[in-house]
């Protein structure tokens, strides 16, 4: 099978997969969420773009001038839809501009201009008609690239410069997956620029092979973030419910700071530190540091580390993780929390990631959280 045939098959399968994805999300539990709606539109856009590319490469309408050149620039909407997803997921839509009010009219205008262009030249029989359309299409795509890149950069600016606006979300999601999207997204723009540069260098005669890497990377990336968004939104809502339930059911004492005086020996100080951690549940903070705990306990940070090492025979991280694992164990076997996923429980216990939780839990408990919960349920039944 030739490379072009493989690529065409990829375009068709990815388009069908995208349409199926959109249908599933549309009727899913979180389908009415604004952020999910824009992810759905994002996937739908790339699916329509791939389907259109497949139709063009198969030359289905080569004998029909108007249909052959009536291409809709779907790529124009990809970055704007991602931007809208981002501000709704971060819950900052009220503080940010709705750029779709500008983008959608511009998008419709490009379609109207193209239709007018096609209608005008369909009446002519000039030999350079095809060249003129190739040139116009490339200019239109360059404009789309510039707009898309501007939206992409602005979205990244929001993510890195306005963290105070979405501090609440950061307490549930470290957003590493979105940062990964931006890193990979940068490569798609590089491939897009290269493909356009080749087209211009060839005097606006599109070299289809230069677009293969761009189409593949863009498709994989959009579908990847689509599935990531589904999982992260579900996890986000679950963690919010879990944290609310924990706040209601857990008895937290507002302990005052531990004042170290001459009459407090080191063993008592160590016991007081443990009590402080348990009463305030400081270990559930993923970014808990020696300095923060020392400040809470009103103890020198260096001395705190020495005392923890002396009486627990563990370094600070292992000492804190032991509290997190013990806390996770309680939730995993508590019938009130059986309907929550293991990942949500692990993250609410103070771990940064699912992989970190599983690895640390197995290190301390000797088995995975899943096996621990499974064994408990088997024993209970």
Q: Is 239 exposed, middle or buried (0-12, 13-18, 19+ CB in 10 A)?
A: buried
**145-190 tens-digit pLDDT:** 999 999 999 999 999 988 889 888 988 998 999 999 999 999 999 9
Structure tokens at 354: 């699912």
155 CB contacts (<8 Å, ≥6 apart)?
79, 82, 83, 86, 182
* CA–CA gap between residue 276 and residue 29 (Å, rounded): 40
* CA–CA gap between residue 160 and residue 149 (Å, rounded): 17
Cβ atoms < 10 Å from Cβ of 244: 10
**241-284 tens-digit pLDDT:** 998 888 876 544 444 444 444 445 788 888 889 998 988 899 99
Give residue 303's Cα distance to chain centre. Answer: 40
* CA–CA gap between residue 367 and residue 375 (Å, rounded): 10
pLDDT number for residue 30: 82
- Note the pTM of the prediction, 2 decimals: 0.83
95 neighbors 158 (Cβ within 8 angstroms) = no
* CA–CA gap between residue 12 and residue 59 (Å, rounded): 14
Find where tokens 């995993």 sit.
332
Structure tokens at 367: 């088995």
Give residue 98's Cα distance to chain centre. Answer: 20
277 neighbors 252 (Cβ within 8 angstroms) = no
- The DSSP secondary structure of 111-170, one letter per residue, reads HHHHHHHHHHHHT---TTHHHHHHHHHHHHHHHHHHHHHHHHHHHHHHHHH-GGGGHHHH
Say which DSSP state 366 is in.
S
Say which DSSP state 64 is in.
-
Find where tokens 């939104």 sit.
233
81 neighbors 45 (Cβ within 8 angstroms) = yes
Structure tokens at 138: 């490339």
Give residue 182's Cα distance to chain centre. Answer: 9
Average pLDDT value for the chain? 86
Q: What is the dihedral of CA 179, 185, 187, 191, to 10 degrees?
A: 180
Confidence of residue 123 (pLDDT cuts 50, 70, 90): low
Confidence of residue 124 (pLDDT cuts 50, 70, 90): low
Number of H helices, E strands in the chain: 16, 0
Q: What is the mean pLDDT of residues 71-91?
A: 93
Confidence of residue 144 (pLDDT cuts 50, 70, 90): very high
326 neighbors 261 (Cβ within 8 angstroms) = no
């Amino acid at each position: 099978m030739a490379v072009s045939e493989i690529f065409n098959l990829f375009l068709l399968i990815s388009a069908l997969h995208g349409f199926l994805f959109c249908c599933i999300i549309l009727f899913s539990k979180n389908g009415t969420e604004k952020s999910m709606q824009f992810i759905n539109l994002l996937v739908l856009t790339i699916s329509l773009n791939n389907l259109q590319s497949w139709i063009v490469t198969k030359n289905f309408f080569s004998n029909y001038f108007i249909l052959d050149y009536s291409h809709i620039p779907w790529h124009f909407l990809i970055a704007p839809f991602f931007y809208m997803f981002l501000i709704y997921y971060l819950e900052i839509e009220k503080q940010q501009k709705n750029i779709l009010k500008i983008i959608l009219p511009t998008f419709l205008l490009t379609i109207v201009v193209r239709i007018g262009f096609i209608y005008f030249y369909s009446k002519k029989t000039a030999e350079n008609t095809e060249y003129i359309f190739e040139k116009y299409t490339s200019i239109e795509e360059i404009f789309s690239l510039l707009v898309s890149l501007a939206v992409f950069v602005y979205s990244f600016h929001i993510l890195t410069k306005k963290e105070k606006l979405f501090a609440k979300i950061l307490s549930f999601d470290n957003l590493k997956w979105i940062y990964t999207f931006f890193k990979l997204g940068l490569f798609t723009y590089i491939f897009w620029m290269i493909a356009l540069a080749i087209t211009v260098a060839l005097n606006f005669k599109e070299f289809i092979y230069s677009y293969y890497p761009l189409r593949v990377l863009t498709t994989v990336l959009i579908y990847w973030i689509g599935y990531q968004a589904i999982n992260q939104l579900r996890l986000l809502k679950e963690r919010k419910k879990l944290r609310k339930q924990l706040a209601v059911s857990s008895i937290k004492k507002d302990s005052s700071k531990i004042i170290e005086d001459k009459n407090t020996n080191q063993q008592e100080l160590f016991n007081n530190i443990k009590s402080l951690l348990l009463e305030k549940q400081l270990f559930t903070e993923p970014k808990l540091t020696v300095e923060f705990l020392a400040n809470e306990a009103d103890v020198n940070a260096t001395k705190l580390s020495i005392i923890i090492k002396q009486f627990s025979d563990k370094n600070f991280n292992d000492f804190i993780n032991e509290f997190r694992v013990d806390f996770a164990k309680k939730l995993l076997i508590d019938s009130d929390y059986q309907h929550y996923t293991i990942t949500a429980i692990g993250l609410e216990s103070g771990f940064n990631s699912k992989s970190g939780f599983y690895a640390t839990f197995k290190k301390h408990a000797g088995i995975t959280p899943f096996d621990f919960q499974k064994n408990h349920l088997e024993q209970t039944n």
